[in-house]
Amino acid sequence: MSEARIRFENVGKRYVLGERSTTAREAVSALARRARGAAPSPRTDLWSLRDVDFTVSSGESLGIVGRNGAGKSTILRILARITTPTTGTSRTRGRVAALLEVGTGFHPELTGRENVALNGAILGMSRRDIRSRFDSIVDFSGVERFIDTPVKRYSSGMYLRLAFAVAAHLEPDILVVDEILAVGDAEFQRKCLGRMAEAEAEGRTIVFVSHDLQTLERLCERTLWMDAGRVRDDGDTRSVIRSYLASSQVAATQGGADAVVRGGPVSVRRLRVTPADRPAGSVLMRDEPMDLALDFDLSEPVHELNVALIVTGPSGARVLDELLPNTEVRRRDEGAYTASLRVPPVLTAGEHVAGLWIGNRDADYIDEPSLLPFTVEGIDRRRSPRVVALDLPVRLEPRAT
């Protein structure tokens, strides 16, 4: 096993909330109040981290997920030595480059060229290293046209490009990156992710915090899930992301919806979208099958009845449209029925809408393609949605009333 580059042992970080003296006048006033015996301003301890333990080996990429305020950024600040733990021990072996905020270490009055030299020196580069890598840094950043312009005139995206370019060319042992990459455009994000993948292949250690779960899975094999300052899960990125999504209750579908729709002899009672072989109310995951089910009643016998279950994808295109097989019986008697369809893991991640069509060659009794919105969660590697033509069997069975 590779040697540990990062080791957190029972790390806790406490901040004190309450009144602070930010000027000499406020400090004097606070002293005077204490001299008069006045009660001090109320102060509250806030533990950003509690008993955090983890180890990251050389050449490993660790992702960190969690809600806002879960303690993710505090971990990065400790790794970057911006702050120190209140309890426990944090150890890092090797040179650390941290990209936590846009333009950290930049002076607004200096030009891009001057800030490359300044920021490189702050990060530990020698003058020789800065000179030898300057052209590569500028080329990577894509701001060569403005390299002699004061950075106070840069947009946040230009700041980011130049700051990341410097950090990426430092060739650190440990690269720490916050959600900051969300500021860049798509092309630059691809360059950054490519550079981080190269760094991992070169044996460098990466710690990456992001709410972009697709990017996180592409870059990191292992992920830490932080919840209220504690490690809630630590393991394979896909399984951790699945647990994180399930806990966050971000899925819109919790079983189904009553949707009484009538047309001719048909009355639709309920349309459901549920995970296959898992309890109703569970999150619908992109890499798991799901079940579509429709309950409806017939008030009289219908010849050549057919039922289609429909799904419209995030782009607005119909991605699933499956009918009863042609071998179904020609006549359906009066009564209650359930039409159901098991969908393999072919839908893209995102917002979908389930609907239906019921009719025969003589009439469209019900045509409602948009009845039940639902969300498919997970990582989607396809660049664009596509129409699914699977010839799936829709089953139609009598339903107990």
DSSP string, 28-54: HHHHHHHHTTPPPPPEEEEEEEEEEEE
Distance CA 49, CA 372 (A): 41
Cα distances from 41 to residues 15, 26, 34, in angstroms, run: 15, 13, 10
* Alpha-carbon gap, residue 69 to 361, rounded angstroms: 58
Q: For residues 146 and 148, give the distance between their C-alpha atoms in angstroms, rounded to a whole number.
A: 5
Q: Please give the single-letter amino acid code of residue 185.
A: D
Per the CB < 8 A criterion, the answer to whether 206 and 62 are in contact is yes
- Output the pLDDT for position 1: 46
Task: State the Cα–Cα distance between residues 111 and 138, nearest whole angstrom.
Answer: 13
Rounded to whole angstroms, the Cα distance separating 269 from 298 reads 11
Inter-residue contact 376 to 385 (CB < 8 Å)? no
End-to-end alpha-carbon separation of the chain, Å? 62
Question: In this predicted structure, what is the pLDDT of residue 383?
Answer: 45
**Confidence (pLDDT) at 183:** 54
Region label for 325, one of left (φ > 0), alpha (ψ between -120 and 50) or beta (otherwise): beta
Give me the helix-helix angle, 112-122 and 156-168, nearest 10°: 40
The helix or strand, by DSSP H or E, that contains position 135, with its residue range, turns out to be helix 127-141
Whole-number average pLDDT of the chain: 79
Query: Digits of tens for pLDDT over the chain (401 positions)?
Result: 456 688 999 999 988 765 554 555 656 666 666 676 665 556 677 888 999 999 998 888 899 988 878 888 899 889 988 889 999 999 988 888 777 765 566 788 889 898 888 878 877 778 888 888 899 888 888 888 899 999 888 887 788 788 878 877 777 788 888 766 555 566 777 777 777 777 777 888 889 888 777 778 778 889 999 988 999 999 988 888 877 776 654 333 444 555 567 888 998 888 888 888 776 666 788 888 888 888 999 999 988 888 888 888 877 778 888 776 654 567 888 999 998 888 888 888 888 888 888 988 888 888 888 788 888 877 655 544 444 445 566 777 787 76
CA 110 and chain centroid, separation: 36
Q: Nearest Cα to 335, choosing from 382, 384, 302?
A: 302
Q: Using an 8 Å Cβ cutoff, are 181 and 48 in contact?
A: no
Tell me which residue has tokens 């540990």.
4
Identify which of 213, 233, 206, 224 has the alpha carbon closest to the alpha carbon of residue 94: 206
**Strand, helix or coil for residue 159:** helix
- The C-alpha atoms of residue 392 and residue 374 are separated, in whole angstroms, by 20
Asked whether the beta carbons of 68 and 211 are under 8 A apart, the reply is: no
